[in-house]
Amino acid sequence: MSVKLLLEKAHVEGIKSYEVYRREGGYRAAEKAFKLTPAEITEEVKKSGLRGRGGAGFPTGLKWSFLAKPEGVPRYLVCNADESEPGTFKDRYLMEFIPHILIEGMIISSFALGSNRSYIYIRGEYAWVADILETAIGEARANGWLGKNIQNSGFDCEMYVHRGAGAYICGEETALLESLEGKRGNPRIKPPFPAVKGLYGCPTVVNNVETLAAVVPIINITGEEYAKIGVGRSTGTKLISACGNIKKPGIYEIDMTISVEEFIYSDEYCGGIANGKRLKACIPGGSSVPILPANLLLKTAKGETRYMNYESLSDGGFATGSMMGSGGFIVLDEDQCVVKHTYTLSRFYWHESCGQCSPCREGTGWLEKIMRNMENGKGTMSDIDLLWDVQRRIEGNTICPLGDAAAWPVAAAIRHFRDEFEWHVLNPEKCLTENYGLAHYADPIQVTT
């Protein structure tokens, strides 16, 4: 059975309320934290090895240590709850059902960072979740956990929920800060980084919902004990949003020592492929990471078992690997058309591009147009190479990672499923009525890399 740190109390009736959360041990970590110094809390987070759970996987304690601390200048903590990555819904679950674990984690983090004002920037579509958070913040304030002199600690902290307007680009931390300031959500050029010049030009730390919630068990059990869970640099537990053609879609908390095969096929997790079908492919970390065919998803290029952690999923680079990303685990069975799914993603990134960078603004439009022709039986063989050339000119040439996010799915689809693209060109009349098949299943096969 997997270790549960964040979801251990998830099914306790009424856990979203302060009374039940407190009864079940809530805010004990905050009590413990107020007996430590800010530097000691940061050191615990460093010892834990906690990596950002929003996608990039950057070490959280190290990120905190970069925060500038000029005299007489306020510092801010911002929670990135703009969970807009297709296939990812773990943060929504935490906020909807256990909101106080996020609030407690933010209180501890604010104390460690010396931030007296913190914000939760939540995507506009999560309107009902924002209501839940505001209710929970009110409960925390009424019980002395927010406001002046919290629990006689001498620390003041206020917390606010800010609702976004539904822009995927605001999941990028600097675009989020621009939106929070009331501006158009365009990413900023870095440097300066938010740790030096962030919200309102002041030092700011931006962390994901799951990352901040994980601070609670770290303080409760100590960073050293947290680091013993998992393997290597993939420490602690990770929430996975599993969806697609599986028997048991949902949110799972794993300790990153299990194999991908176990995660997909065991009854404790996904329960196998639905309707007796075979596994064809998977996007393991949310829509922006490279898709992997079944054989490379279950085994690395060297034939080694692939595990559900940062290092194993990326083993071999993008030629034969992918990324843990935001933990959006999208499973495709043998009946799914990779070209169709890639076209859907291209439409999404074209729509969500802010338009600030010409490679992204123009390139995502070209990807969408070519993929649309391909899916509708109007593609040519030269279009496949054109797709490859366009994505190559987008990747690494934009201010923020949205350009990369648009390019990687197309590149991986062509890299591993070029024969499927060729089938669409050679069988234009069948594109809208039939699915391409007969290869790329979980059986050991040779795949073009």
| Residue 442: per-residue pLDDT | 44
Instruction: Give residue 437's pLDDT.
Output: 54
Domain ranges in the chain are 18-228, 234-333, 338-430
In CATH terms, the fold of domain 338-430 is de novo design (two linked rop proteins) (1.20.1440)
pTM, full prediction: 0.93
Say what the pLDDT of residue 62 is.
Answer: 94
pLDDT single digits (tens) 53-90: 987 889 999 999 999 988 889 999 999 999 999 999 99
pLDDT at 1: 53
Average pLDDT for runs of 10 along the chain of length 449 = 86 96 96 96 96 88 93 95 94 96 98 96 96 97 96 95 94 96 95 96 96 97 95 94 96 95 95 93 94 92 90 89 92 93 96 95 96 92 96 94 94 94 89 61 37
pLDDT at 161: 97
- CATH class label, 18-228: alpha beta
CATH 3.40.50.2000 holds for 234-333? no
Question: Residue 329 has what pLDDT?
Answer: 96
Q: Kindly report, residue by residue over 363-389, the tens digit of the pLDDT.
A: 999 999 999 999 998 999 999 999 999
3-state secondary structure string across the chain: CCCCCCCCCCCCCCCCCHHHHHHCCCCHHHHHHCCCCHHHHHHHHHHHCCECCCCCCCEHHHHHHCCCCCCCCCCEEEEEECCCCCCCCHHHHHHHHCHHHHHHHHHHHHHHHCCCEEEEEECCCCHHHHHHHHHHHHHHHHCCCCECCHHHCCCCEEEEEEECCCCHHHHCHHHHHHHHCCCCCCCCCCCCCCCCCCHHHCCEEEEEHHHHHHHHHHHHHCHHHHHCCEECCEECCEEEEEEECECCCEEEEECCCCEHHHHHHCCCCCCCEHHHCCEEEEEECECCCCCEEHHHHHECCCCCECECCHHHHHCCHHHHCCCCCCCEEEEEECCCCHHHHHHHHHHHHHHHCCCCCHHHHHHHHHHHHHHHHHHCCCCCHHHHHHHHHHHHHHCCCCCCCHHHHHHHHHHHHHHHHHHHHHHHHHCHHHCCCCCCCCCCCCCCCCCCC
**In this predicted structure, what is the pLDDT of residue 429?**
83
